[in-house]
Structures are given as structure tokens and as C-alpha cells.
């Protein structure tokens, strides 16, 4: 095989399908590849035939021009695939295995990986701890919104599905294990959700919906989801969440009080991130809005899970401070209320096996919760446009037509 096709970031607001090189077990030079990673040999890796690969809200930040992503970057960090080639040093993964790929790239050898902090591996990104496929400033590992992709450190990272036929029957659920299901679950766990909890989830995009479903799985008594988008709120309501339309009702605490009888929740989850908007009909971009609002409505002694993405460089930010990730956060309020904050990339490997079993047993219905919608590779550019307009769907690319 010598060819490959992939979704490529072209310029702000534009992605396209391009012919690109078939992957091999080496990280070659290309858009976004860190010079110190060029030529890195990956005999510990595998080549996957991509079965499903999802469009993520994090991809949208790049496509909107809100990062320093270079033109030509192959996108995609949510990957599920079939192993078709194994490197010389791979011992336990075999050709034909159907696997989920954590979006974090992790070596399994460094101190952080050994302590289960695979989200901040020390050996895969020369610029900083932590890496991901097809993402700006993450070392340059090639993205997986493509027909084929190379995955390093296969024995350590890959989650093999125990039965391929069973997995393909539930593939629209299992494809969420690469990122948004563990990310939403991590947000809920970090926020301290437990049986009987009252939970506020900021944002009804796919990660917010995954966090809400995760809170239900963890036994929350009431899950309240807030957003400015009525269609996305309707999706949250479809599986039992209470909702707050923050375009219509600017005062979040008052709306929570109408639902719970008190203006506070036990815990809150930020699934919006740095492109947050203010509340009300005349809202504009205000990147600290969600963090400040969840501190306001979370009880003293509560915890805040923050899986929403925050960056150190945002060329499209509303002010000079925000362009370098400096936000006007009421940290004194959080300190006074003894809040716990948990931030950063989700360590997917900490959760993905348990969540796989929840899917295979029928306990978790994540595809239904996020409205998983299958598309072809050719439909990806239009799906990016629909997603940017706020449609309540989680787009799943099926590059080889393998999904029923």
C-alpha cells in the first residue's frame, strides 16, 4: 500500500480532504512536527486501518483559527482501528486486533506514565509534557482523521476489544472511548460526583453530554446542563438531564434554585473551555465566564472538574491577556469556598477499560447521549461547518464504509 487520504486543516474556517503519505513506523517531517521528533523510529508502534475517527470540539478550536496550528496539519485524535502492521518490538498486539487509541500519546516508561499520569508523558513531546495526535504544539504526531494512521507504543497504549463482532455491533459507542467518554467521565470523577450528588455541567456539546451521562452512571441525583444552544439542551434533556438556557436566563444561580430549591450544587464540570461566552441575549465572548460561574454555584468544600480546553496561545482572543491564556478568574472566591480544581488533559487509560465494559454490558449508552452520527471521509468538511454552527451531533467518520 502506498496511498492514504486525510482531513487536513487548510486555513481558518477551512478543512479539506487530501491525498497524503501512507504511514510507516517513523515520524517524518511535516506540518507541525517538532524538529526534535523528526526521524523518530517507532518499532514499538503499529499501523491501523481506521474504522472510526471522530470530529472533536478541540479540533474546532484549531479550525476556527484560535490556535497556532499550521496549514497542512492532518487532524484527528479520536481513533479506533484494526491493526494491519506491527513493529518489530510489539509483543502483545496482533494483526487483526480491533483497538481503541487513547488520544494521549504516552510512552509507558517515564515517571508520569508509571504513576498513571499518561496525559503528561515526559517522552513524547519535546516542548512540554503531554501529547496528542493531529494537534497543535503536541509534538507533531500525525492525526487519525484518515484511512490509515501510525500509533506508537502499541503494547502499552492500545485497548483491544475482546470480541470483534460484538465490538462492531457497538462501534458507535466504543469509538467514544478514545476521548470524549473518558474525558466527560474524568470531569465527573474530578468533580467528586457520587450517589445522590447534584451536578452542574457547563456546556451541552459532546463532552458536556458525555459528562452528564457519566454523572448519571456515577449515581448523581440531579444533573443540570447549561448552554446557550437550545438544540444541544434538548439533546441533554432527552436522556434525563435538567437544563438551563443561558441565552434566555442570564442568572445561573437563580435557575439552579428553581430546579433544586437552593442556588448551589454539590459539584460542577466545565465542558466549555477558553472560547466561553457570557450569559444573556447580548452575550459576547468572555473566556473566564464558565470558571467564575461554576465557582459561584458550587457549594463550599465542593470540587470543580475542568476538562474544557484552555490554551497558552490564542491569536483570536478578545484581549491581550487572553491571547496568552491569562484570564480574569475570581480565584479569591474559589479560595474562600475551599474549592478543589482539577484541570488538564484526561488520562484516558485510567478509565477506558472500565467504560468499555460498561458499554459492552449495555450499562452505558454514550452514542445515544451524544447523538453519534456516521459520515464518510468526504463529508468531513461539511460536518465541520455544521458542528461549528452548533448542531447537536457527534460526527463519526467511517473512512472505509465498515460501520453498519
- Domain spans of the chain? 3-179+347-397, 180-343
**Per-residue pLDDT reduced to its tens digit, 312-356:** 888 888 899 999 999 999 999 999 999 999 999 999 999 999 999
pLDDT at position 282 is 77
Q: Looking at residue 198, what is its pLDDT?
A: 98
Quick count: other Cβ atoms within 10 Å of Cβ 269? 36
Q: What is the pLDDT of residue 48?
A: 98
pLDDT at 144 over 70: yes
- Furthest C-alpha separation in the chain: 63
pTM: 0.96
Closest among 179, 215, 239 to 392, alpha carbons compared:
239
DSSP 23: P
List, for residues 205-218, the tens digit of each pLDDT value: 999 999 999 999 99
pLDDT at 2: 67
What average pLDDT does the segment 106-131 reach?
A: 97
Using alpha carbons, select from 161, 116, 153 the residue that is nearest to residue 353.
161
- Fold match between 3-179+347-397 and 180-343? no
CA 162 from chain centre, in angstroms, equals 24
pLDDT of residue 312: 86
What is the pairing mode between strands 98-101 and 79-86?
Answer: antiparallel
Q: Which three cell numbers stand for residue 316?
A: 483570536
The average pLDDT across 120-148 equals 97
89 burial (CB, 10 Å; 0-12 / 13-18 / 19+) is: middle
* CATH for 180-343, options being 3.40.50.720, 2.60.40.420, 3.30.450.40, 3.40.630.150: 3.40.50.720
Residues 6+ apart with CB under 8 A from 305: 186, 187, 188, 189, 190, 191, 211, 267, 268, 269, 270, 342
Angle at 338 between CA 194 and CA 314, to 5 degrees: 90
Fold of the CATH domain 3-179+347-397:
Quinone Oxidoreductase; Chain A, domain 1 (3.90.180)
**pLDDT of 170 over the 70 cut:** yes
Closest CA to 103 of 182, 38, 172: 182
Q: What percent of the chain has pLDDT over 70?
A: 100
SS3 349: helix
* Residues 397 and 377 sit within 8 Å (Cβ to Cβ): yes
* Among 212, 156, 154, 153, CA closest to 183: 212
Secondary structure element (H or E) that encloses residue 342, with its range: strand 340-343
Q: What is the mean pLDDT of residues 9-20?
A: 96
The pLDDT confidence band at residue 283, using thresholds 50, 70 and 90, is: confident
Kindly state the average pLDDT of the residues 88-115.
98
Q: Is the dihedral of CA 254, 260, 266, 270 positive or negative?
A: negative
With H, G, I as helix, E, B as strand and everything else as coil, classify residue 237: helix
Q: What is the mean pLDDT of the chain?
A: 96
Give the count of beta carbons closer than 10 Å to the beta carbon of residue 29.
11
* pLDDT digit string, tens, across residues 77-96: 999 999 999 999 999 999 99
For residue 281, what pLDDT band results from cuts at 50, 70 and 90? confident
Strand locations in 204-296, DSSP E?
A: 222-227, 242-245, 265-270
pLDDT at 55: 98
Provide mean pLDDT across the span 151-171: 98
> Which 3 state secondary structure label does DSSP give 279?
coil
Amino acid at each position: 500500500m502506498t496511498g492514504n487520504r486525510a482531513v487536513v486543516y487548510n486555513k481558518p474556517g477551512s478543512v479539506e480532504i487530501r491525498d497524503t503519505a501512507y504511514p510507516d513506523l517513523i515520524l517524518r517531517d511535516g506540518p507541525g512536527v517538532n524538529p526534535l521528533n523528526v526521524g523518530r523510529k517507532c518499532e514499538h508502534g503499529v499501523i491501523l486501518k481506521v474504522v472510526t475517527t471522530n470530529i472533536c470540539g478541540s479540533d474546532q478550536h484549531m479550525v476556527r483559527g484560535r490556535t497556532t496550528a499550521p496549514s497542512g496539519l492532518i487532524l484527528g485524535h479520536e481513533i479506533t482501528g484494526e491493526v494491519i502492521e506491527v513493529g518489530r518490538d510489539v509483543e502483545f498486539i496482533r494483526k487483526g486486533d480491533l483497538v481503541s487509541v487513547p488520544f494521549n500519546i504516552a510512552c509507558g516508561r517515564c515517571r508520569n506514565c508509571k504513576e498513571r499520569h499518561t496525559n503528561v508523558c515526559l517522552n513524547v513531546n519535546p516542548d512540554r509534557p503531554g501529547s496528542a495526535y493531529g494537534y497543535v504544539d503536541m509534538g507533531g504526531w500525525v492525526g487519525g482523521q484518515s484511512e490509515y494512521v501510525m500509533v506508537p507504543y502499541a503494547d502499552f497504549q492500545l485497548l483491544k476489544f475482546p470480541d470483534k463482532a460484538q465490538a462492531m455491533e457497538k462501534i458507535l459507542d466504543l469509538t467514544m472511548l478514545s476521548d470524549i467518554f473518558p474525558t466527560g467521565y474524568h470531569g465527573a470523577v474530578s468533580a467528586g460526583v457520587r450517589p445522590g450528588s447534584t451536578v452542574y455541567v457547563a456546556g451541552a456539546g459532546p463532552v458536556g453530554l458525555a459528562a452528564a451521562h457519566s454523572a448519571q452512571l456515577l449515581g448523581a441525583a440531579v444533573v443540570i446542563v447549561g448552554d446557550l444552544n437550545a438544540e444541544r439542551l434538548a439533546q441533554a434533556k432527552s436522556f434525563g438531564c435538567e437544563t438551563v438556557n443561558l441565552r434566555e436566563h442570564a442568572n445561573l444561580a437563580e435557575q439552579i434554585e428553581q430546579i433544586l430549591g437552593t442556588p448551589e450544587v454539590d459539584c460542577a464540570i466545565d465542558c466549555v473551555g477558553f472560547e466561553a461566552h457570557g450569559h444573556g441575549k447580548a452575550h459576547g465572548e468572555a473566556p473566564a465566564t464558565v470558571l467564575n460561574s461554576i465557582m459561584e454555584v458550587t457549594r463550599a468544600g465542593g470540587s470543580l472538574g475542568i476538562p474544557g480546553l484552555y490554551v497558552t496561545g490564542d491569536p483570536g482572543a478578545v484581549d491581550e491577556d487572553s491571547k496568552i491564556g491569562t484570564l480574569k478568574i475570581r480565584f479569591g472566591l474559589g479560595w474562600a469556598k475551599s474549592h478543589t480544581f482539577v484541570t488538564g488533559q484526561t488520562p484516558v487509560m485510567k478509565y477506558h477499560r472500565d467504560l468499555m465494559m460498561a458499554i459492552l454490558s449495555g450499562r452505558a449508552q454514550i452514542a445515544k447521549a451524544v447523538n453519534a452520527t456516521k459520515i464518510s471521509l468526504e463529508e468531513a468538511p461539511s460536518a465541520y461547518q455544521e458542528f461549528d454552527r452548533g448542531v447537536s451531533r457527534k460526527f463519526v467518520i467511517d473512512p472505509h464504509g465498515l460501520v453498519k
